[in-house]
Amino acid sequence: QVQVVESGGGSVQSGGSLRLSCTISGNSAYKVFMGWFRQAPGKEREGVAVLLSDGKTNYGDSVKGRFTISQDATKNTLYLQMNNLKPEDTAIYYCATDASYSWWLHLRQGAVPRFQGQGTQVTVSS
């Protein structure tokens, strides 16, 4: 089993920054493709950032150049640094992990990561 707990959400003005943290503990077999996705009211889920098994990263088009995903393996913690936030970044952000990359590739088609947290709200005001 794997436990996923996010923290760090909040409210910020446009142009501001936030850092989300996610503690992922448990079976390491599922801590291969770790990342973040978000969902805004009335919108589809959107992949934000993912850390691949070889250490490379991938980002959603709307956040490239503004968000950075990183990991502190010693603390079992995944981070999402969000800079230059925009009102359209307002959403619930979920941390996710799985042994397969499929959840990231097919997120919009309804794929569900094997493990995800409860989500943390990020609100950006103009």
Q: How far is CA 29 from the centre of its chain?
A: 19
For the segment 13-21, the average pLDDT, to the nearest whole number, is: 98
pLDDT at 91: 98
pLDDT at 75: 79
For the segment 96-110, the average pLDDT, to the nearest whole number, is: 95
What is the SS3 assignment for 87-123?
HHHCEEEEEEEECCCHHHHCHHHCCCCCEECCCEEEE
Question: Confidence class of residue 53 from pLDDT cuts 50, 70 and 90?
Answer: confident
Burial class for 123, CB neighbours closer than 10 Å (0-12, 13-18, 19+): middle
pLDDT at 74: 83
pLDDT tens per residue across span 73-94: 887 999 999 999 999 999 999 9
pLDDT at 14: 98
For the segment 55-63, the average pLDDT, to the nearest whole number, is: 96
Token output for 69: 């995903």
pLDDT at 83: 98
Token output for 10: 């909040």
